[in-house]
C-alpha cells in the first residue's frame, strides 16, 4: 500500500454532555428600546417604501407606545444637586 492509499481515520465526534444547556434570559435595557424608536424614525425618514401602506398603522402604533413607555420609564433626574449648586453659587457676601 502506498501512502496515498492509506485510510485516514476521521476524528470521532464528541459525545454530547448529559446536561441540557440552559438558555440565558434576554435582558432589554431602556437603551435597547430607545434604539428601536430610532430605527423606526430613520426608516420613516428614508421613505423608500420600507413599510407597506397596511403596515403603517402598526408601525405608528408601536412607535407611539415605545415613546410613551420611554417617557414613563426614563431615569428620574435628581434635582437636589441643582438646587444645592444654585445656593452655593449665590455664595456668602463679605463685608470687609
* Angle CA 26–52–47, to nearest 5: 90
User: Given this model, what pLDDT does residue 82 score?
Assistant: 52
Share of residues in the chain with pLDDT > 70 (%): 61
Pairwise CA distance, residues 15 & 20, whole Å: 13
For residues 89 and 73, the model is more confident at: 73
Residue 49: which pLDDT band, with cuts at 50, 70 and 90? confident
Amino acid at each position: 500500500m502506498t501512502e496515498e492509499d492509506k485510510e485516514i481515520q476521521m476524528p470521532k465526534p464528541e459525545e454530547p454532555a448529559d446536561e441540557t444547556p440552559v438558555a440565558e434570559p434576554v435582558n432589554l435595557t431602556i437603551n435597547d428600546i430607545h434604539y428601536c424608536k430610532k430605527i423606526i424614525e430613520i426608516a420613516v425618514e428614508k421613505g423608500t417604501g420600507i413599510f407597506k401602506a397596511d403596515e403603517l398603522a402598526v408601525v405608528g402604533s408601536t412607535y407611539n407606545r415605545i415613546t410613551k413607555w420611554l417617557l414613563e420609564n426614563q431615569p428620574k433626574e435628581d434635582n437636589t444637586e441643582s438646587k444645592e449648586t444654585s445656593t452655593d453659587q449665590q455664595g456668602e457676601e463679605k463685608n470687609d
